[in-house]
Amino acid sequence: MINLNKILLFLLTFEIIFGGGGRMFEPLGIFPVRYLLFALALALFVFNVITKLSKTTPRNLFLVSSVLFLPLYGVIVGVMVGNSLTDILFDLQPYIYTLVILFLCFNDMSIRKYALYIFLKTTKYYAIIASCVYIAYIILLRVGVINFGYVYSILSTSSEFFFRPGGAFFAKSFFFIGVGAIIFFSEKKNYLFLLCMMALFLTETRGVFLFTGVAALIVSCRINSFIKNFSLVSIAIIACVALLIIVGGRAGDSDSVRLNDFYYIVKGMTSTSLIFGEGFGSAILGRGRIEVVPLELLYKTGAIGIFLSMLPLLVVIYKGIVKSSRIEDLQVSCILIFAAGVSLTNPFLYTPMGIYIIGIAILSLEVYRPVANFNKNNLTISDNR
């Protein structure tokens, strides 16, 4: 049974990382593999419980419960305030994948160790492959070898890709290039880090590039000297200014939409809704979902929902950045900061990609026990797989 769990974990991890938004084969009418693997994970979780292979700790149980209670709370408030059942179910839909956390976190310790190991390893392979392929695409596009119209006609049939006027594009799976960059930077594999950052820069996507840099800076504060940190900040500022110049006025429309959402929520919320929220099914300027995830959570679930969503993040980040001396803990913490940060500009955190990262982060709390008295000169890579 342990081998079966590991095989399914590998398939889940591979599909999440390489599959991105899960819509790669949407134009072919193929049934999404993600849903099939999700169903298998739930079935295997139930079997693990029956056979007593499923194990956890009180802390993990509490954190997983907080993650699972968040959408349930949103539904309860939505029903209480009388929102449309159809709209409530629309809001609930992306949260259904949170059930996969049961399979990830309530499992034998050897399986949880494997889950973290295979996630980090697969992410690194993907980040290298995707970065090389994308940079090669941009080079060939610029020298005229590749016809952009042909590429667009193929890739635009899937909602997985977002195109820029000059031929650059962003695939949802490129989110994991940022994750890979954080891993490489923490392991001091600077050439691979720069490779990933170059690929992200060429996608002309501000949010992912910016918060990859923020996460790398946090890592740097833990492992590098002041001079190196100052140099990194200087380079990051120059790169961000350059990216803003390249993006130019294109960002104006999306920024104005986010600002309008913010003003609508600030003006429309009462003291009661600020605490309890308006519930799932409530609309923001006629839309069920918006790009800024924390803002949407605040409007729909109030301060209670924000607390429930932040609790696992704060526990993991505290362990990885403050208490632990293991590189894996620092990596997972900064990956979680990156995912939360990107969700300020694009909805990633409560998609299957973000949910999977939350699950990996929670299980990492027990896989690698914290070690006191952190010393940046003695930061270690654990061989406890």
pLDDT band at 229 (very low <50, low <70, confident <90, very high): low
Residue in 96, 103, 126, 93 with CA at minimum distance from that of residue 12: 103
User: Rounded to 5 degrees, what are φ and ψ at 157?
Assistant: -75, -15
DSSP 8-state secondary structure symbol assigned to residue 1: -
Residue 141 has pLDDT above 80, yes or no: yes
Residue 362 is inside which H or E element, if any?
A: helix 352-367
What's the pLDDT score for residue 385? 43
* Amino acid code (one letter) for 278: E
Q: What is the DSSP string of 224-275?
A: S-HHHHHHHHHHHHHHHHHHHHHHGGGHHHHHHHHHHHHHHHHHH--HHHHH
218 located within any domain = yes
Q: pLDDT digit string (tens) for 14-66?
A: 999 998 877 766 666 667 788 899 999 999 999 999 888 888 888 889 999 99
Pick from 274-288, 321-335, 370-384 the range whose average pLDDT is largest.
274-288
Mean pLDDT value of segment 110-131: 95
pTM: 0.88
Distances (CA, A) of 213 to 78, 201, 210, 234, 322: 37, 11, 5, 11, 20
Question: Tens of pLDDT along 304-323?
Answer: 999 999 998 899 888 888 77
Signed CA dihedral, 26, 30, 33, 34: sign only: positive
**287: β partners:** 284
* Burial (CB count within 10 angstroms: exposed 0-12, middle 13-18, buried 19+), residue 86: exposed
d(C-alpha 156, C-alpha 149), whole Å = 10
Q: Which residues are 317's β-sheet partners?
A: none
Query: Average pLDDT, whole number, for the chain?
Result: 85
Residue 382, pLDDT > 60, answer: no
| Beta-carbon contacts of residue 186 (< 8 Å; ≥ 6 apart) | 219, 223, 327, 330, 331, 334
Q: Kindly state the tokens that stand for 344.
A: 């300020």
Residue 383 lies in a domain: no
In residues, how long is the chain?
A: 385
Instruction: Give residue 233's domain range.
Output: 2-378
Residue 385 lies in a domain: no
User: Do residues 268 and 250 touch, judged by C-beta distance below 8 A?
Assistant: no
Give the DSSP letter of residue 162. E
Query: Is 6 part of a structural domain of the chain?
Result: yes
Q: What is the pLDDT of residue 334?
A: 93
What are the tens digits of pLDDT across the range 160-196?
888 888 888 899 999 999 999 999 999 989 899 999 9
Q: Quick: pLDDT tens for 322-340.
A: 776 688 888 999 999 999 9
In this structure, is residue 384 part of a structural domain?
no
Domain annotation covers residue 302: yes
Average pLDDT value for residue range 76-91: 93
85 within domain boundaries: yes
Contacts of 268 (CB under 8 A, 6+ apart): none
What's the structural domain count of the chain?
Answer: 1
Q: What percent helix, strand, coil does the chain show, rounded to 5? A: 75, 5, 25
